[in-house]
A and B are shown apart, each in its own frame.
Chain A
Amino acid sequence: MTDLMTPENDVERALRSPTEVLVAPEARDRHRALLMAAVTADVVEPAAVVTPIRVHGRGRRRVTVVVVGAVAVTAIGGGLAVALSRLRPSEPSMIRCFAVATTALDDAELGFDLGAAASPGGTVASVAVQAIDQCGQAWSRGELSSTAPYVPRDFPGGGQPVPHLVACVLPQGFVGVFPGPPGTCAALGLPEADL
């Protein structure tokens, strides 16, 4: 017996439209090659799958996947990440600014992709500083708030207070910037981003 939900009315049918979408053959070939390379190299860093979802005010998002064969800095696994107090983010261009010191809320997070500006030959230190600066600007513009709505649609603009921010490494290897004192990362069970 299937336990799948069957749409029963207009709204449910509308949400299940289109009925089926297939990945185009050329994209399929590209994806397959990319994924197989990722498995083989065991390293995936941000830098060539381009997603046409624009970063607010920053043009098209650019995420490039670079497979670095011999340099076996693996993506951060959950266990490893928790075991270390300081860690280099595996995806330093991907920034998540949190309005409160938790990862449990869906609606309290703002994402940025620094793209090529993150680390073109640069250091992790500069990336972490950039991450905190990026999120600090968002706080200053009022795009983040410590009370609900945490990411207001209509934000007040410049000059808003910026809390003390810390940079942690999220399980997926992104930099997560949280409001809070030193030690906030540890309290969240996350390693600090290695500055």
Chain B
Amino acid sequence: MEPDDARVQRSGDDGHSEDVTVSEADVDVSDDVLWSRAVEHGDADAFAALYERHADRVATYVARRVGVEHVDDVVAEVFLEAWRQRDRIVVGQESGLLPWLIGVARNLVLVSYRRAGRDARLTTRVVPDGDVPDLADEVADRDEAELRGRQARAALSSLGAEDRAVLELCLVGELTPRQAAEVLGMGASTVRSRLTRARRRLAAAYEALGADGGVRHD
């Protein structure tokens, strides 16, 4: 380990933890500076630092969309795709690279879904537009959380493209409206208003699936 490196421990839901090497010199450097170093000067360490900073957020997004089993490979593709698109990506000083990475991940998931066609394993997570599965017969056999997840994804998939976009970025991807606005090419206030409407529609779609009444909370 280099003398100026720091070991940072991360831990996740699954209980495993790890030590990650982060250059101290990069800890306080903003994304836009690291991105500039990577793109303009071919600084591979700068790109690696961006990976260290954002890989887990991207992984979490991918797991929520297509399942944790796809995380490792899709995360690598997201960063490679970002690198391929580096001439198009303008990293804001405040918002950083994350919105672009989540945007790239979202596009990869969409394209992968199209490519996957009728792959049953994937469609259990990503349900095509307007195709809401009949889940009634599965209730008895499914773990409650898994069932709720499927119903939630079905409700999301039943919404229009605009509603899905803001929910996938702001709810699933945990971007702020300002960050999502960068990805979508619109104003933050527009994202906020769309998000408000989309949340109402999502709740209604979920209710229409019978999901809210199918789970007892007592």
Contact = CB atoms under 8 A, between A and B. Distances in A.
Most buried by A among B11, B12, B62, B212: B12
B66 A53 contact: yes
Contacts of A22: 10-12, 14, 16, 18, 56, 59
Given A10-B212, A23-B72, A56 B60 contact: no
Contacts of B47: 35-36, 38-39
Contacts of B72: 23-24, 27, 31
B44 interface: yes
B75 A4 contact: no
A62 to B, nearest CB: 11
Given A11-B211, A51-B73, A35 B51 contact: yes
A179 interface: no
Interface string A146-178: 000101010000000000000000011100000
A17 B149 contact: yes
Interface of A: 2-5, 7-12, 14-25, 27-28, 30-32, 34-40, 42, 44, 49-57, 61, 63, 65, 75-80, 90-91, 96, 106-107, 109-113, 149, 151, 153, 171-173
Main secondary structure of the interface of A (DSSP, over half): loop
A190 B84 CA distance: 17
B105 interface: no
Interface stretch (B23-31, B107-115, B135-143): B107-115
A16 B174 contact: yes
B186 interface: no
Contact of A173 (B20, B64, B84, B202): B84
Nearest to A24: B72
A64 to B, nearest CB: 11
Given A5-B174, A14-B151, A52 B75 contact: no
Interface residue tally of chain B, by bracket? Answer: 35 or more
Contact of B215 (A10, A21, A24, A78): A10
A14 B12 contact: no
B60 A18 contact: yes
A75 B86 CA distance: 9
Contact of B70 (A2, A53, A55, A77): A53
A54 to B, nearest CB: 5
Most buried by A among B12, B55, B115: B115
Given A21-B12, A49-B76, A171-B85, A32 B48 contact: yes
B177 interface: yes
A111 B56 contact: no
